[in-house]
Chain A
Amino acid sequence: MNVAPLGVAAAALPCPLPAQRCPVSSGQLITACRLAWEQGGQLVALWVSDDRDRERGFCLRVLLRDADGLTLLEHTLPDEGARYADLATIFPAANRMQRAAFDLSGVQCDADDQRPWLWQAAWPIDRFPLRRDFEASPKWEPGQEDYPFVRVAGDGVHEIPVGPVHAGIIEPGHFRFQVVGEKVLRLEERLGYVHKGIEKRFEAMPLLDGGRLAGRVSGDSTVAYAWAYAQALEAMAGTTVPPRAAWLRALCLERERVANHLGDLGYLGNDGGFAFGLAQFSRLKEDVLRLNREAFGHRMLMDVVVPGGVARDIASGEAAAMRAQCASLRREIRVLRDIYDEHAGLQDRFRTCGHVARELAMQLGLTGFAVRACGIAEDLRADFPLPPHDALAVRKATRTEGDVAARVAVRFDEALESLRLIDGMLAALPEGEVLAPLPSIPAFRLGLGMVESWRGPVTIALESGPGDSIRRCHPSDPSWRNWPVLEHAVIGNIVPDFPLINKSFNLSYSGHDL
Chain B
Amino acid sequence: MLYVLRQIAKTGIVSERAPAPADEMRVVARLQEEILRIVGRALAIRQVDAGSCNGCELEIHALGNPYYNIEGLGIRFVASPRHADMLLVTGPVSKHMAIALRRTFEATPDPKLVVAVGDCGCTGGIFGESYASLGRVANVIPVDVEIPGCPPAPTALLQGILAALRAGQI
Taking Cβ atoms with an 8 Å cutoff, the residues of A that contact B are 120, 122-123, 129, 134, 136, 140, 142, 144, 164-165, 167-172, 192-198, 200-201, 212-213, 216-220, 222, 263, 276, 278-280, 282-283, 285-286, 289, 293, 299-300, 302, 335-336, 338-339, 342-343, 508-510, 513
Q: Quick one: which of B84-136 are within 8 Å of A by CB?
A: 92, 94-100, 104, 126-128, 130-134
Q: List, in ascending order, chain B residues with CB within 8 A of A289's CB.
A: 62
Distance between Cα atoms of A222 and B60 in the complex (Å):
17
In the complex, whether B58 has a CB less than 8 A from a CB of chain A is yes
Given contacts A201-B128, A213-B126, A286-B67, contact A172 B62 (CB under 8 A): no
Q: Does B49 contact A (CB under 8 A)?
A: yes
- Do residues B65 and A285 form an inter-chain contact, with CB atoms below 8 A? yes
Set of chain B residues within 8 Å of A169, measured between Cβ atoms? 47, 49, 57, 60-61, 77
Q: What range describes how many residues of B lie at the interface? A: 35 or more
Known: A193-B96, A282-B62, A339-B7. 6 other contacts (CB 8 A): A169-B77, A197-B127, A212-B126, A283-B65, A286-B67, A343-B4
The one of B3, B60, B96, B99 that contacts A192, using a Cβ cutoff of 8 Å:
B96
Q: Do the beta carbons of B67 and A197 come within 8 Å of each other?
A: no
What chain B residues lie within 8 Å of A172 (beta carbons)? 48-50, 97, 100
The complex places the Cα of A513 from the Cα of B130 at a distance, in Å, of: 15
Whether A122 lies near B67 (C-beta < 8 A) is no
Q: Which residues of chain B come closer than 8 Å to A170, judged between CB atoms?
A: 49, 57
Collect the chain A residues with CB atoms within 8 Å of residue B52's CB. 171, 194, 219, 510
Known: A282-B66, A283-B14. A197 touches B97 (CB 8 A): no
| Given A282-B64, A285-B65: A122 and B132 interface contact (C-beta under 8 Å) | yes
Residues of B within 8 A of A123 (CB): 95, 131-132
- A134: chain B residues within 8 A (beta carbon): 131
Q: Which residue of A lies closest to B69 (CB)?
A: A279
B102 (CB) vs chain A CBs: closest residue? A142
Chain B interface SS verdict (over half): mixed
User: What number of A-B contacts does a CB cutoff of 8 Å give?
Assistant: 160
Checking B59, B79, B151 against A168 with a beta-carbon cut-off of 8 angstroms, the contacting residue is B79
Q: Is B54 an interface residue (CB 8 A)?
A: yes
A399-B130 Cα distance, complex, nearest whole Å: 44
Contacts of B97 in A (CB 8 A): 164, 172, 193-194
- Min Cβ gap A32→B in Å is 33
- List chain A residues, Cβ under 8 A from B80: 167
B57–A196 contact, CB under 8 A?
A: no
Taking the nearest CB of chain A, how far is it from the CB of B82, in angstroms?
12
Listed A/B pairs (15) with beta-carbon separation below 8 Å: A144-B99, A165-B104, A167-B80, A171-B54, A172-B97, A193-B51, A197-B130, A218-B54, A219-B52, A219-B53, A219-B58, A293-B153, A299-B59, A510-B51, A513-B94
| Nearest CB of chain B from residue A345's CB, rounded to whole Å | 11
Q: In this assembly, does B25 line the interface, its C-beta being within 8 Å of a C-beta of chain A?
A: no
- Whether A216 lies near B55 (C-beta < 8 A) is yes
- Known A192-B96, A201-B127; judge A282-B132 contact (CB<8 A): no
Q: Which residues of A contact B48 (CB under 8 A)?
A: 165, 172
Query: Shortest beta-carbon distance, A125 to chain B, in Å?
Result: 13
* Contact between chains at A335 and B8 (CB < 8 Å): no
Tell yes or no: B170 within 8 A of A by CB. Answer: no
Which residues of B sit under 8 angstroms from A283, Cβ to Cβ?
11, 14, 65-67
Residues A339 and B96 in contact, CB atoms below 8 Å apart:
no
Q: Closest Cβ of chain A: how far from B71's Cβ, in Å?
A: 11
Is B138's CB within 8 Å of the partner chain A? no
Cross-chain contact B3 with A335 (CB below 8 angstroms):
yes
